[in-house]
A = this chain, B = another copy of it.
Amino acid sequence: MPIADVPGYHAVRDHTEALARPLSAEDQVVQSMPDCSPTKWHRGHTTWFFEEFVLDRWAPGYERFHPKYQFLFNSYYEAVGARQPRPRRGMITRPSIDDVAAYRSAVDAAMDSVLTQSRDPDLVALVELGLNHEQQHQELLLMDIKHLLSLNPLRPAYRESSGASGAATPKPAGFVAHGGGLVEIGHNGHGFGFDNEGPRHSVYLEPFALADRLVTSGEWLEFMQDGGYERTDLWLSDGWAHINAEGWNAPLYWEQVNGTWQVFTLNGLAPVDPAAPVVHVSYYEADAFARWSGARLPTEAEWEVTARPAEAGPTAPGLHPRALVQDVAEGETSQWFGEVWQWTSSPYTPYPGFRVAPGAVGEYNGKFMVDQQVLRGSAAITPAGHARTTYRNFFTTKSRWAYSGVRLARDV
């Protein structure tokens, strides 16, 4: 059955709807800042992707669900025409959430029809890209709804807490060393990867060491209590100007309630858990914290070669050239994935030999490769398939609404 070539089409599509389900119509329409998009828009945009890049080509005679949806739900693909300006995505009170649900169903039905008729590799690759794209928007949807709900004085929860208690007290942080030398990083072409993950290429590293766990909220409190946000010498020049202009003195979503630090989460307001990884800090803050710690942030290559054994596990021995990862004390490091994205000191640039794909799909990653920093790992809200050592997430130095945290590095 051809559909087997793109396992998970319905799983991915249904998961988006499941994420939206706890949200009211009002929750789904509002845009809380230009960087964020409404839930309804995420639902429409991920659907439009299939209409634009798959159905138009692979479903002969397919008629667009609505003549204006291309305009409404295009994000930034200049090559496919005009679109709703990003800061005005929150004005789209219509189509309604039900209209968008109908749009999703119609496109899914057409996709089913296409996928039962063809197993063309180009088609399968586009569908795979569309599903990975949708998963990225699943994470954005949660980031964005958290930001919106945080601005409501009622501090409403997205969902009721699962009752999970706090994180266990972490062991003292240690550093695991790597001898450096010539290493390879980047996607090797097996399995899905975004264009920006390749080409795989060599990088020469000096010896270094990475922390074996993430920085915790408790450690961040120490930084704050030590005047971290008031000491100029800890900050990049731009960072110092920015935190003073914005009045930042703690991570995003932290607020003092009756003298104790609380943090807004998808489960509502909760006390800051000192054992949990700190999250929602900007690059500026991560960099200042590292300087305060007498450490630095890792480069993305350092991160990748150190994380690789952790990802591979004992069952994937051939995945990485062990000889290059001599000094990593395997098994001792932790929290690479599924906790928080980890700022690296690497600006987001194309890998040597990177080529933008032709056509509109090629606008996916390349045109954002300036003035952003790479983050590695994955967050608690990241869809499972997006946790891999070669994955390159990226945000501007000022961004805090992503689930961004800190792992320290050192020269050795």
Task: Please provide the chain A residues from 190 to 222 with a CB less than 8 Å away from any CB of chain B in the complex.
Answer: 201-206
**What residues of B have a CB within 8 angstroms of the CB of A79 in the complex?**
232-233
Considering the complex, give the chain B residue whose CB is closest to the CB of A67.
Answer: B154
Task: Please provide the chain A residues from 114 to 165 with a CB less than 8 Å away from any CB of chain B in the complex.
Answer: 148-149, 151-154, 156
**What residues of B have a CB within 8 angstroms of the CB of A25 in the complex?**
24-26
What is the CA–CA distance of A206 and B201 in the complex, to the nearest angstrom?
Answer: 8
Q: Are A24 and B154 in contact (CB under 8 A)?
A: no
In whole Å, how far is A377's beta carbon from the nearest beta carbon of chain B? Answer: 20
Q: Are B154 and A68 in contact (CB under 8 A)?
A: yes
**What residues of B have a CB within 8 angstroms of the CB of A345 in the complex?**
349-350
Max chain B C-beta neighbours (<10 A), residue from A78, A93, A182: A93
**What residues of B have a CB within 8 angstroms of the CB of A153 in the complex?**
68, 71-72, 84
Max chain B C-beta neighbours (<10 A), residue from A148, A346, A347: A347
What is the CA–CA distance of A287 and B349 in the complex, to the nearest angstrom?
Answer: 13
Q: Are A370 and B90 in contact (CB under 8 A)?
A: no
Please tell me if A88 contacts chain B, counting CB pairs below 8 Å.
Answer: yes
Task: Please provide the chain A residues from 314 to 367 with a CB less than 8 Å away from any CB of chain B in the complex.
Answer: 345-347, 349-350, 352-353, 367
Chain A interface size band reads 35 or more
Q: Are A204 and B206 in contact (CB under 8 A)?
A: no
In whole Å, how far is A347's beta carbon from the nearest beta carbon of chain B? Answer: 4
In whole Å, how far is A76's beta carbon from the nearest beta carbon of chain B? Answer: 7
Q: Are A352 and B156 in contact (CB under 8 A)?
A: no
Please tell me if A278 contacts chain B, counting CB pairs below 8 Å.
Answer: no
**What residues of B have a CB within 8 angstroms of the CB of A71 in the complex?**
153
What is the CA–CA distance of A368 and B201 in the complex, to the nearest angstrom?
Answer: 29
**What residues of B have a CB within 8 angstroms of the CB of A205 in the complex?**
352
Please tell me if A371 contacts chain B, counting CB pairs below 8 Å.
Answer: yes
What is the CA–CA distance of A91 and B31 in the complex, to the nearest angstrom?
Answer: 8
Q: Are A353 and B93 in contact (CB under 8 A)?
A: no
Max chain B C-beta neighbours (<10 A), residue from A29, A32, A182: A29
**What residues of B have a CB within 8 angstroms of the CB of A28 in the complex?**
26
On whether A235 and B27 interact (CB within 8 A), knowing A68-B153, A151-B88, the answer reads no
User: Can you list 21 A-B pairs with a CB-CB distance of less than 8 A?
Assistant: A24-B93, A71-B153, A76-B237, A78-B233, A84-B153, A93-B152, A94-B154, A94-B156, A95-B154, A203-B204, A204-B204, A206-B352, A235-B367, A236-B367, A236-B368, A236-B370, A283-B370, A345-B349, A347-B347, A353-B411, A370-B397
Closest 6 pairs (CB-CB, A-B): A347-B347, A25-B25, A26-B93, A26-B29, A78-B232, A91-B151
